[in-house]
Amino acid sequence: MEDKKKIAKKVAGLIKILPPMPENISRLMKAEAKPHEGQKQVLTMIASDPGLCTDLLHLACDFCKGTGRTVDTIDDAVKYIGTGPLVHLIAVSYTNKIIRKELSQLKYLEDYFEHSQDISLCCRILADICEIPAHEREMCAVAGLIHDIGRLIIMVASNKTSVRLVGTSWDKMKSVVGDETKILGLNHCDVGMQLCRKWNFSKIFQDGILRHHTPLIENDFNYLGGLIFLAHFVSFSDFTGDIISTVLGKELLDALEITPKQFIEAQQIYEMRAGETS
C-alpha cells in the first residue's frame, strides 16, 4: 500500500511541475470554446501572431499528409481540419515539446510518438468510415495523438524509464485499467485526463482520454473513447473476424455503428496508408 501511495504522490508531483500551456495557446483554446464567436476570434489571433501562424501551417501540412489535401494557407487549414481540431493540434504539439524536454529520461520515448501517430491514423480511418461530421473526424484523429500521455507519467513515477514504450496488446485492452489500478493504485487513463485538464483541453478530450479503455460502462457510452479503443484493434494485422466477435463484442460495435465488415475495411485501409508513410 505504501508503494502505491508513493507512486501516486510522484505522479501528482510530476503533473504539478510540468509547465502550463503558453498564454497565446491558452487564449486560443478559450476563444475556440465560445459557441458563436470562437472561430472568428481564433483566426484573428492566429493572423496577428506570425510564429503561431507558421507553426499552424506546418502542423496542418503534416496532419494532412497522406490524405491528398494540400495546405498552403490558414483558410486551407480551417477548411480541411476545422478551427477546433486545429487549436487542439497546436496544443498537442506544445505538449509533445514538453514531453521531449521534461521526460527525456524515458529511453524509448520515440515509441510513444510512433504509437500515437499510429492510433491517430486509425482514428481518422474509422471516423471516415463512420461518416461523422468533418469537425468531429479531425478531433478524433487529434485525440489519438495524446491518448496515452498518462502512461509516460506513470513510467517515470514508478522508475521504469528503461522499459520499452509500447501500446496495450489486444487481449489486455479491457483489463489494463483494472490491472494498473490494482498494482499501482491509479491508471494511465485517469492520469492522462488530469494532464488534459491541466492544459485546458476540451471536456470532450478529457472524457475521451479517460474512457479510451472503458468506453462502454453498463449503459454509459463515450464515443471518442470508443473510437480510440477500437483504433488499437485496427492496427493489429492478425486480428481476425472470430476475434472481433469474441473480444470487441456486438455492443461496442453497435454503439459506434460499425459493422464487422467495415472493421475489416478499416484494417485494409490502415495497411495501405501505413505502408505509404513508412
Which pLDDT score is estimated for 145? 94
Percent of the chain with pLDDT over 70: 91
- DSSP structure string for the chain: -HHHHHHHHHHHHHHHHSPPPPHHHHHHHHHHTSTTTHHHHHHHHHHT-HHHHHHHHHHHHHHTTTTT----SHHHHHHHT-HHHHHHHHHHHHHHHHHHHHTTT-TTHHHHHHHHHHHHHHHHHHHHHHT--HHHHHHHHHHHTTTTHHHHHHHHHTT-TTS---PPPGGGTTTHHHHHHHHHSS-HHHHHHHHHHHTT--HHHHHHHHTSS--EETTEE-HHHHHHHHHHHHT-TT--HHHIIIII-HHHHHHHT--HHHHHHHHHHHHHHHHHH-
Q: Which three cell numbers stand for residue 83?
A: 478551427
pTM, two decimal places: 0.89
The per-residue pLDDT for range 94-142, each reduced to its tens digit, is: 999 999 999 999 999 999 999 999 999 999 999 999 999 888 888 999 9
Which pLDDT score is estimated for 39? 75
Beta bridge partners of 220: 217
Among the residue ranges 29-43, 69-83, 221-235, the one predicted with the least confidence is: 29-43
pLDDT tier at 237, thresholds 50, 70, 90: low
Which pLDDT score is estimated for 1? 47
Q: Is the pLDDT of residue 66 over 60?
A: yes
The per-residue pLDDT for range 174-211, each reduced to its tens digit, is: 788 888 888 888 999 999 999 999 999 999 999 999 99
pLDDT tier at 72, thresholds 50, 70, 90: confident
> Of the segments 3-12, 29-38, 39-48, 186-195, which one has the largest average pLDDT value?
186-195
CA-wise closest residue to 118 among 277, 258, 268, 226: 277
In the chain, how many domains are there?
A: 1
Contacts of 12 (CB under 8 A, 6+ apart): none
**Domain containing 164 — which CATH number?**
1.10.3210.10
Domain holding 33, by residue range, is 2-277
Which pLDDT score is estimated for 238? 60
Alpha carbons 152 and 200: distance in angstroms, whole number = 19
- Between 226 and 4, name the one with better pLDDT: 226
The per-residue pLDDT for range 54-63, each reduced to its tens digit, is: 888 888 888 8
Q: Which three cell numbers stand for residue 99?
A: 514531453
CB 188 within 8 A of CB 180: yes
Which pLDDT score is estimated for 204? 92
- Between 158 and 169, name the one with better pLDDT: 158
The β-bridge relationship of strands 220-221 and 216-217 is: antiparallel
Which pLDDT score is estimated for 57? 86
Q: What is the mean pLDDT of the chain?
A: 86
Which pLDDT score is estimated for 243? 65
